[in-house]
Amino acid sequence: MALAEPQGAPFRSRERAILVGVEWKRRWLSKRSPPNTELDAEESLDELSELAESAGAVVVERAFQVRDAPEASTLIGAGKVRELAALAGSAHADMVLFDHDLTPTQQRNLEDQLGVKVLDRTQLILDIFARRARTREGRLQVELAQLSYLLPRLTGHGAAMSRLGGGIGTRGPGETKLETDRRRIAGRIKSIERVLEGVRGTRSVHRQQRSAVPLATLALVGYTNAGKSTLFNRLTDAGVIADARMFATLDPTVRAAILPSRRRVLLSDTVGFIRRLPTTVVKAFRATLEEVTEATLILHVVDVSAPHAAEHRTHVLQVLQEIGAERIPQLLVLNKVDRLPQHEPQAGREVAARMDAPAVSISALTGEGMDRLLQKIDEILPFDPLSRVKFRFPLGEGASISLVHQLGRVIGVRYTDRFCDVDAEVPESLRHRLAAFVT
């Protein structure tokens, strides 16, 4: 299927990619009626197309195949490889992107027969991560994921490459280049893991310091491009990058936000999830994702205008389970209601009903529903409950009086010659902190 080409020099300077999707029939043989696999594959290829665009490529063709099982040497079989080679030649393609993980042998065979660069889904995601990482921690996490993916894929030419065996002709300088490369990569992986272990320890210290003054932590999670960073900016005025491209945010950010009850909470933004998020990425970003596992409440942001919003939530829940965060309380934030058709006002509520969880509909872009969201967070947040307290402060305790105004909701203030009486709703932690002034 040929795709229309935009005009102009920027298009010609970008790499031209062909997308390849594969669906296996075998897993549907035991079912009475097979699902619409073509629709599923089209949705997955649409997502791969977005990934390719995010990586700077332009998609010029798509190919799709239904097979009983993977073909060991090329995944798609000799006939489809010949067809794909002709397609790559006619489209002047620079690369072929597979919406499926390839073995080292399959990738090498495909590149030999197609004559162009061949990448799989995981390599594409890792390339995007490498482009988007800005901090030293982010770059190290991406490098770790790339090396972990590369190490088992280093290939040579079998026993003939080795000079460590016995017999005539095998004695020599020792390690081959392949073995040296493997040793160097393994050493670099260990080095990065040690550094990231230090990052993990630093984050743990920061969390302990934050817990000294009890503040609830809210973690924003969701499918990539669900609008998490836009919501984060709306709630905290943080000014982090909010981009329609996939994985626009990789480096974690933590900022304070104020709830209607005047409680202060910490809000953390995290990397977006995606279906079949590579295991190497999840492991490499463990230090970052621990911000989610330590959260008091997870704000699960869903693009309610997406055709497969419920499926996106399922993929996110799978990743949360992988990192051990599945039991943390969640609030569904149904974002982008401004994109819903005007004649479908129930669409957001229907999606929420199918998800079977407390939910609030908002538009982070326009600000619609933000008051409801903050109020809902206040209602369900189990951390640091509010209580009404009457304080009597000596007039010299200006800092304590200011703290009540800053962290609580002041109902009334009365001054006398020696004291300031304050009637306020305050978090329980502040009540204990100022227990000496409670009347």
> Domain spans of the chain?
9-128, 214-380, 386-437
pLDDT for 260 equals 86
Compare 429 and 377 and report the one with higher pLDDT: 377
pLDDT for 207 equals 58
Q: Which of 49-58, 170-179, 380-389, 421-430 has the lowest mean pLDDT?
A: 170-179
Cβ–Cβ under 8 Å, residues 170 and 162: yes
pLDDT for 243 equals 54
The pLDDT of 216-232, averaged and rounded, is 88
Given a cut of 50, is residue 34 above it in pLDDT? no
Q: How confident is the model at residue 276 (pLDDT cuts 50, 70, 90)?
A: confident
Q: Which CATH superfamily is domain 214-380 in?
A: P-loop containing nucleotide triphosphate hydrolases (3.40.50.300)
Overall pTM surpassing 0.85 (yes/no): no
pLDDT for 40 equals 66
Compare 1 and 153 and report the one with higher pLDDT: 153
Highest mean pLDDT range out of 33-42, 276-285, 360-369?
Answer: 360-369
Torsion of CA 301, 302, 304, 306, to 10 degrees: 140
Cβ–Cβ under 8 Å, residues 189 and 276: no
Given a cut of 80, is residue 411 above it in pLDDT? yes
Q: Which of 65-69, 138-142, 147-151, 398-402 has the lowest mean pLDDT?
A: 138-142
From residue 30, how far is each of 15, 34, 66, 373 by CA, in Å? 42, 9, 17, 45
- What confidence tens digit (pLDDT) does each residue in 251-273 have? 667 888 888 877 788 888 877 78
Same fold for the domain at 9-128 and the one at 214-380? yes
Given a cut of 80, is residue 376 above it in pLDDT? yes
Given a cut of 60, is residue 137 above it in pLDDT? yes
Compare 408 and 364 and report the one with higher pLDDT: 364
Q: Which of 150-154, 314-318, 434-438 has the lowest mean pLDDT?
A: 150-154
The pLDDT of 189-204, averaged and rounded, is 80
Cβ–Cβ under 8 Å, residues 175 and 128: no
Rounded CA separation 422/403 (Å) = 12
What would the two tokens of residue 278 be? 């590579």
Q: How confident is the model at residue 390 (pLDDT cuts 50, 70, 90)?
A: very high
Q: How confident is the model at residue 287 (pLDDT cuts 50, 70, 90)?
A: low
Compare 5 and 76 and report the one with higher pLDDT: 76
Q: How confident is the model at residue 354 (pLDDT cuts 50, 70, 90)?
A: low
pLDDT for 142 equals 81
Rounded CA separation 205/321 (Å) = 25
Compare 14 and 291 and report the one with higher pLDDT: 14
Q: Smallest Cα–Cα separation from 284: which of 182, 185, 200, 183?
A: 200
pLDDT for 259 equals 87
Rounded CA separation 383/360 (Å) = 20
Highest mean pLDDT range out of 68-82, 125-139, 199-213?
Answer: 68-82
Torsion of CA 66, 70, 72, 74, to 10 degrees: 40
Ramachandran angles phi, psi of 227, nearest 5°: 105, 20
Task: Provide the percentage of residues in the chain whose pLDDT is more than 70.
Answer: 75
pLDDT for 239 equals 61
Angle of CA points 190, 192, 196, to nearest 5°? 115
The pLDDT of 51-59, averaged and rounded, is 89
Residue written as token pair 């630093």 = 202
Mean pLDDT of the chain: 79
- What confidence tens digit (pLDDT) does each residue in 412-425 have? 999 998 999 999 98
Given a cut of 80, is residue 215 above it in pLDDT? no
Residue by residue, DSSP assigns 283-297 as HHTHHHHHHHHT-SE
pLDDT for 383 equals 64
Specify the CATH number of the domain 9-128. 3.40.50.11060
Q: How confident is the model at residue 158 (pLDDT cuts 50, 70, 90)?
A: very low
